[in-house]
Amino acid sequence: MSVVEAPAAGGPQLEQVRRLVTAIPGPRSLELAARRAQALPAGIVSGQPVFAAAAGGGVLVDVDGNSFIDFGSGIAVTSVGNSASRVVERAVEQLRQFTHTCFLVNPYEGYVEVCEALNRLTPGDHVKRTALFNSGAEAVENAVKYARAATGRPGVVVFDHAYHGRTLLTMAMTAKNNPYKKDFGPFTAEVHRAPMAYPFRAPGGRERAAEQAMAALRDLVDVQVGADQIACVVIEPIQGEGGFIVPPEGFLPAVAEFCRERGILFVADEVQTGFARTGDMFASEHEGLAPDLITTAKGLAGGLPLAAVTGRAEIMDAVHPGGIGGTYSGNPAACAAALGVIETIEAEGLVERARVIGDRFLARLTGIADGNPVIGDVRGRGAMIAVELVRPGTTEPDPAAVAQVIRYCQERGLLVLSAGTYGNVLRFLPPLVMPEHLLAEGLDILTEAFATL
């Protein structure tokens, strides 16, 4: 077997082609997997069996020279494409100036620029402030700090099927126990969970999903806990890890109004839905929401670790000086990358591009679903689309069918991710710069894969 050289570089110049040159996984990936087994603990699991060598545009090339169509974007992160030019150029230039000062020691302009951009771009015409962090979970943790400091209340309301992170507080906020929380308790108190408006699985059917969820929220907050104990309600505008659950139109505005009436802060967790992913810059815009606080990460910096809390100035300023911090929070290279992401989204019209991609996926998948009873539901918005697989004629989850489709796609050079509380959701998160021919090829492979079910 001749050794295949890795591409000279990733990024948009990477050949945008699907190409298989070895079995999947190939020999180099197998070698690395053996080393990994000796060096890493078993708790860290990768969904794909191939090790990356380069990525860019709509493809990822593995260490054996196989070029895959990427329908995952590293879980909604490389929306502007991997190693996108403006991201790399800005980050490299920054790295040459300084790699780190700790903003709590020596501040720098890049951090301020990112905050100014987020204050401008996030929905709501109120005066805002932004604080930067490293991960989505850290942003959610700090959003709760701000909410508690601003309201003087301890309680946090979250929803079934929610995912907010893997730290102690965000584990308490995340719904699914295994794998995210198992063996790690006890968890923090004062986190209360309400049923989610989940149209496909609503007890009273789609038409009553919002009504039933609102009734349950009122019961939880007004009767069981007491509204005066609740600092904030935290919700993903489209639930990500829980299975790309899109609440019925009207539900999110009803929750926001419910909160406003009770002095409870409405926090939109846009870690997975933010930055053009859903066909708006932020998913909250779809129904005209202006959240009191918004958490962002993932797509914010195109792969460099950066997260943010953006909120009403009076809320953000309620925390005492020195109350918020972190050694790496708002790392300068990540800030430079974020400015490159924002510039790319705006220069390349990626918000509109996400809508075009979403229309392509929804048209093809609803067409397939009509003739395939294993596809129980097709849903999503923009380039955040999913199908939920069930046993034919039922809503019984079929995670085995998901695994079968993922494996079929892997073997044919297409990377697809799963999701869902029941492990029975296939989610599609292609880079927004995915070329048309790769979108078409990927959808054709998916069509073949569903035909095997």
Residues lying near ligand PLZ in the complex (CB under 6 A): 75, 135-137, 140, 163-166, 236, 240-241, 269, 271-272, 297
Tokens of 313: 């100035």
CB 135 within 8 A of CB 297: yes
The torsion angles phi and psi of 378, rounded to 5 degrees, stand at: -120, 130
Assign 3-class secondary structure to 14-77.
Answer: CCCCCECCCCCCCHHHHHHHHHHHHHCCCCCCCCCCCCEEEEECCEEEECCCCEEEECCHHHHC
Q: How far is the CB of 241 from ligand PLZ (least distance, A)?
A: 5
Q: How far is the CB of 326 from ligand PLZ (least distance, A)?
A: 13
DSSP 3-state of 374: coil
Q: How far is the CB of 175 from ligand PLZ (least distance, A)?
A: 12
Q: Which is nearer to ligand PLZ, 84 or 238 (CB)?
A: 238
Q: Which is nearer to ligand PLZ, 133 or 450 (CB)?
A: 133
Q: How far is the CB of 138 from ligand PLZ (least distance, A)?
A: 7
Q: Which is nearer to ligand PLZ, 173 or 449 (CB)?
A: 173
Angle between helices 350-370 and 332-347 (to 10 degrees): 70
What is the spatial distance between Cα 83 and Cα 417, in angstroms, rounded to a whole number?
21
What is the spatial distance between Cα 344 and Cα 350, in angstroms, rounded to a whole number?
8
Q: How far is the CB of 449 from ligand PLZ (least distance, A)?
A: 23
Q: How far is the CB of 411 from ligand PLZ (least distance, A)?
A: 24
Number of Cβ within 10 Å of residue 448's Cβ equals 14
CB 154 within 8 A of CB 148: yes
Q: Which is nearer to ligand PLZ, 67 or 135 (CB)?
A: 135
Q: Which is nearer to ligand PLZ, 344 or 418 (CB)?
A: 418
As a 3-state breakdown, the chain gives helix, strand, coil percent values, each rounded to 5, of 40, 15, 45
Q: How far is the CB of 4 from ligand PLZ (least distance, A)?
A: 30
What is the spatial distance between Cα 21 and Cα 7, in angstroms, rounded to a whole number?
14
Tokens of 99: 């790699």
Q: How far is the CB of 427 from ligand PLZ (least distance, A)?
A: 11
Q: Torsion over CA of 111, 115, 120 and 126, rounded to 10 degrees?
A: -160
Q: Which is nearer to ligand PLZ, 136 or 311 (CB)?
A: 136
Q: Which is nearer to ligand PLZ, 65 or 380 (CB)?
A: 380
Q: How far is CA 381 from CA 8, 148, 330, 354, 386, in A?
A: 35, 32, 30, 9, 9
Of all residues in this chain, which one has the CB nearest to ligand PLZ in the complex?
136
Q: Which is nearer to ligand PLZ, 282 or 450 (CB)?
A: 282
Please report which residue ranges of 122-268 form alpha helices under DSSP H: 136-151, 168-173, 209-218, 251-262
Q: How far is the CB of 273 from ligand PLZ (least distance, A)?
A: 7
Q: Which is nearer to ligand PLZ, 136 or 431 (CB)?
A: 136
Residue found under tokens 């220069």: 347
Residue found under tokens 């401008």: 120
Q: How far is the CB of 226 from ligand PLZ (least distance, A)?
A: 27
Q: Which is nearer to ligand PLZ, 140 or 446 (CB)?
A: 140
